[in-house]
Chain A
Amino acid sequence: MKTQQNNQPSLWHALSSARDLTGRHLFGAEGSIALNDLIEGTTLYGRGEELCGRSVLVMTANQFTTASALIELDGIARRIVVCPPDLPTEHLPFVIETAEVDVIVSDRATFALGSSRPMVFCPCSKEIGPRNYDRTVEHETEWIMLTSGTTGVPKLVVHTLASLAGAIDPGSNAGGDVVWSTFYDIRRYGGLQILLRAALTGHSLVLTSGQESTADFLARAGSHKVTNISGTPSQWRRALMSGAANKIDPKYVRLSGEIADQGILNRLRSAYPGARIMHAFASTEAGVAFEVTDGSAGIPPRVIENTPDVEMKVEDGSLRIRSSRTARCYLGANAPVLKDANGFVDTGDMLELRDGRYHFAGRRDGMINVGGLKVHPEEVEAVINRHPEVQVSLVRKKKNAVTGSLVVADVVLKVAAQTAQKHDMRELQEDIVLLCRESLSSYKVPAAINFVPALAVAESGKMIRNNA
């Protein structure tokens, strides 16, 4: 086991040394914990000594208990494996074997493990108990985040708290009353970033709950006076459609995880005229890379060329990133290679330079093949989303007897346009096709435009793309 080698204190240590935690809380739908109590107590029934140096799988039903368990475990466990809420149980044995898990921390009563490894079961609680163990020795805990691989088997991504927190300025505590929140689940990279921001700077955090509607969450977030909040463009669209977006009055609005188009940026600007609105790029593997703060879609080249502490380049069309925030590797005997020989992570996100700005053109592996020609769905969506009646769109593959595949689009209209007459819909379809035809090659133009009431959004907060 390695002891702390860099200047990154554990979460618990950072919280303990924060200046004044009075009135600062972790807020869940089911209650709250004062950060001061969290430093003094335990939500793991005082079993810290038993967990010391172990590989701990945190498998919780509830984000609220997850947050306090993670803060307590960092610096104690040899390894923390953060299990996302939607991990299919059939993959659990693989995760447990690969990460050599020997403790499971959970707020669930019982579950089938499907693994024969000897295992300690440690419950975690919503309530704080008195801590009866010593925390003076700190270890560098390895953090394992899971991402879904293309075959469905999760990939285990190895981080340290230092790499996860590389983009966080611990000195930003001085900025007055900051209350963090996120639409993300904190068991994913995007949400964990917000938990770490709150914990390392000693600020309150409002967590979402699976049992709560977007409108109820926004009302609760508003009652705690949330100032800084993050989410995917899909989650923000849902917030704007919930009718409760005006319940919060944030100073800082962050979008990440999907391409932020000009439409969503403009709508957030008019909903929150006083807020700093930015879209950012981060991934579990590549870490937090950059943010764009000028309110426009796309990325100015200077951001790629000149972001402090992060080296970026575009090679074979895709964005490559090297920084201290990238993951170390994938865990496992037959795991794929994460970094190239020079330490760059290939994000697989394709960038194109258009009109002086870089734009994401989609994922390398998400391309649709139309008669031998390649189409990125995101490139077509970007054009459709420019139509004034369109709220959001999803471009997908449609099998076809003639060309193999064709491109079709599912389009969600803005509320006003949804009530239009049927013959107007035909005109609107033609209008959208015309717009595509003006800016795209003919094989990229959707063969059909289907108007749908909504698009499916996964638990990760991203639109579900199914090109299989």
Chain B
Amino acid sequence: MITTIRSEIVSLFTEVAKEHNNKLAPLTDDLELLESGLDSLSFAVIVTRLESQLGIDPFSSSEDTVFPVTFGDFVRLYENAAE
């Protein structure tokens, strides 16, 4: 299940970057999201699509969600929310 979430996120980052003509940096766990090449609209799109595909939106389910800094944080946020 955990690998599914990670692979879903990776494929969505790739897909949305392509759609928005953003040049995506290699998706390593310590990549800072602000350095990933995606703009804020792209992030919004990714969060919305993840919700429709995984059924989770960690940003809306908890009021004190800390916005993730790195790509690894982002993936863990979804993995934790799915547990």
Convert B35-52 into 0s and 1s, putting 1 for each residue whose CB lies closer than 8 angstroms to a CB of A.
Answer: 000001101110111011
CA distance A430 to B12 in the complex (A): 12
Contact partner of A400 (CB less than 8 A), chosen from B15, B47, B52, B65, is B47
CB distance from A413 to the nearest CB of B (A): 16
Q: Nearest chain-B residue to A405 (Cβ)?
A: B44
User: Does B80 touch A at the CB level, under 8 Å?
Assistant: no
Please tell me if B23 contacts chain A, counting CB pairs below 8 Å.
no
CB neighbours of A408 from chain B (8 A): 48, 52
User: Judging by beta carbons under 8 Å apart, are A433 and B48 in contact?
Assistant: no
Interface centre among B48, B49, B60, B65 (most CB of A within 10 A): B48
Stretch at the interface among A14-22, A152-160, A179-187, A440-448: A440-448
In the complex, A401 Cα to B46 Cα: how many Å? 11
- Which of B15, B20, B47 has the most chain A CB atoms inside 10 A of its CB? B47
Would you call A398 and B20 a contact (CB within 8 A)?
A: no
Indicate if A402 sits at the interface (CB-CB under 8 A).
yes
- The distance in angstroms between the C-alpha atoms of A402 and B48, with both chains bound, is 10
Q: What chain A residues lie within 8 Å of B15 (beta carbons)? A: 430
* Residues of chain A from 425 to 443 with CB closer than 8 A to chain B in the complex: 430, 433, 437, 442-443
Q: Which residues of B contact A406 (CB under 8 A)?
A: 44-45, 48
Taking CB atoms, residues of chain A closer than 8 Å to B60 are 399, 401
User: B52 contacts which chain A residues (CB < 8 A)?
Assistant: 408, 448, 450
Does B64 lie at the interface of the complex (its beta carbon under 8 Å from any beta carbon of A)? Answer: no
How many of chain A's residues have a CB under 8 angstroms from any CB in B? 19
**Complexed CA–CA distance, A170 and B42 (Å):** 58
Q: How far is the CB of B50 from chain A (nearest CB, A)?
A: 9
A402/B49 contact (C-beta < 8 A), A433-B19, A437-B19, A442-B20 known? no
Tell me the bound Cα distance from A430 to B41 in angstroms.
17
Q: Give CA–CA (A370, B39) in the complex, Å.
A: 14
With A448-B49, A448-B52, A450-B52 known as contacts, the answer to whether A402 contacts B19 (CB < 8 A) is no
Minimum C-beta distance from A284 to chain B (A): 36
Interface residue SS majority, chain A: mixed
Q: How far is the CA of A447 from the CA of B12 in the complex (A)?
A: 11
Asked if residues A401 and B19 are in contact (CB atoms below 8 Å), the reply is: no
Closest B residue, CB atoms, query A401: B59
Closest to B67 in A: A401
A402–B43 contact, CB under 8 A?
yes
Q: B43 contacts A447, CB within 8 Å?
A: no
Complex Cα spacing A398 to B48, Å: 8
Identify the closest chain A residue to B58 (Cβ): A401
Chain A, 385-405, CB within 8 A of any chain B CB: 398-403
Residue A243 lies at the interface, judged by CB distance under 8 Å to chain B: no
A262–B52 Cα distance when bound, in Å, is 29
List of B residues within 8 angstroms of A437 by Cβ: 19
Q: How far is the CB of B81 from chain A (nearest CB, A)?
A: 13
Are the CB atoms of B47 and A401 closer together than 8 Å? yes
B-chain residues with CB within 8 Å of residue A450 when the two chains form the complex: 52
Which residues of A lie under 8 Å from residue B67 when comparing CB positions? Answer: 401
For the complex, give the distance between the alpha carbons of A433 and B44 in Å.
Answer: 15
In the assembled complex, the CB of B45 is this many whole angstroms from the nearest CB of chain A, namely 4
- Contacting residues of chain B (24-42) with chain A, CB-CB under 8 angstroms: 40-41
A402 touches B20 (CB 8 A): no
* One of A371, A430, A447, A448 near B40 (C-beta < 8 A): A371
- Inter-chain contact A443/B41, CB cutoff 8 Å: yes
Interchain CA distance A40-B48 in the complex, whole Å: 64
Also in contact, A447 and B20, with CB within 8 A (given A371-B41, A399-B60, A403-B40): no
Min C-beta distance of B41 to chain A, whole Å: 6
CA distance A370 to B43 in the complex (A): 13
In this complex, what residue of A is CB-closest to B45? Answer: A447
A442-B59 contact, Cβ under 8 Å, with A402-B47, A447-B49: no
Contact B44 A403 (CB under 8 A): yes
Task: List B contacts of A433 (CB < 8 A).
Answer: 19
CB distance from B34 to the nearest CB of A (A): 12
The smallest beta-carbon distance between B63 and chain A, in angstroms, is 11
Interface residues of A in 188-246 (CB under 8 A from B): none
Given known A437-B19, A442-B20, contact A402–B51 (CB-CB < 8 A): no
- The answer to whether residues A447 and B19 also contact, given A371-B41, A399-B60 and a CB cut-off of 8 A, is no
Question: Which residues of A lie under 8 Å from residue B51 when comparing CB positions?
Answer: 448
CB distance from A454 to the nearest CB of B (A): 18
Nearest residue, chain B, Cβ from A407: B48
Q: List 19 A-B contacts (CB under 8 A).
A: A371-B41, A398-B48, A399-B60, A401-B60, A402-B44, A402-B47, A403-B44, A406-B45, A406-B48, A408-B48, A408-B52, A433-B19, A437-B19, A443-B41, A447-B44, A447-B48, A448-B48, A448-B51, A450-B52
Kindly list 5 other residue pairs between chains A and B, CB separation below 8 angstroms, not including A400-B48, A401-B65.
Answer: A399-B60, A402-B43, A442-B41, A447-B45, A448-B51
Q: Which 4 A-B pairs have the closest CB atoms?
A: A401-B59, A447-B48, A402-B44, A447-B45
